[in-house]
Amino acid sequence: MTDLYLRPGLDPQPLPIDAYDENGRIWTDLAGSAEGREATGWNELAPAKPVFDPATQAVTWDGSAWAVSDLPPPEPTVGSRPITFKNDVWRRCSEEQAGVIDTELTKLGTRQRRMWEDAQYLDHADPLVMMLKAQMTAAFGESEAARILAPSE
């Protein structure tokens, strides 16, 4: 593993290939030259990164120490696209909103209405969902439409 070094205002990082000191002198081979590291400000070795699982955790530098935090759970996807289960749409909306949605759905053509009725989830890349989101935004406002159609967990 490569050693990481501290420099004021920067996150820990590997030594650069070369660096200048305050007199404009270039120093190379900083790894092999304690004098060069001292002259260029790369003299403090950072603590080793803690052990963490990159699939579920992130490690960050807070300015003085490493911190490990859990990553948020991934959004449900089909392939790599977010989806919303239709039952989540109905759970998230009020009775009044459900009535508005139901009325708008009856205005759809047969093909689009059947696509809505037969699907178990909404694929956010689908043009029908984009149209539905636009209609919900017009009826309920942007933040409420985003809340109702948010990807399912």
d(CA 32, CA 3): 12
Helix runs in 20-140, H state only: 34-40, 86-92, 95-106, 110-118, 127-140
79 pLDDT band, cuts 50/70/90, is low
8 pLDDT band, cuts 50/70/90, is confident
d(CA 100, CA 121): 19
Q: What is the pLDDT of residue 20?
A: 93
Look at residues 113, 104, 111, 106 and name the one whose alpha carbon lies nearest to residue 135.
104
15 vs 75 pLDDT, higher one: 15
Whether pLDDT at 25 is above 70: yes
Diameter of the chain by CA atoms? 78
pLDDT tens for residues 103-135? 888 888 898 888 888 889 998 888 888 888 888
What is the pLDDT averaged over residues 57-78? 84
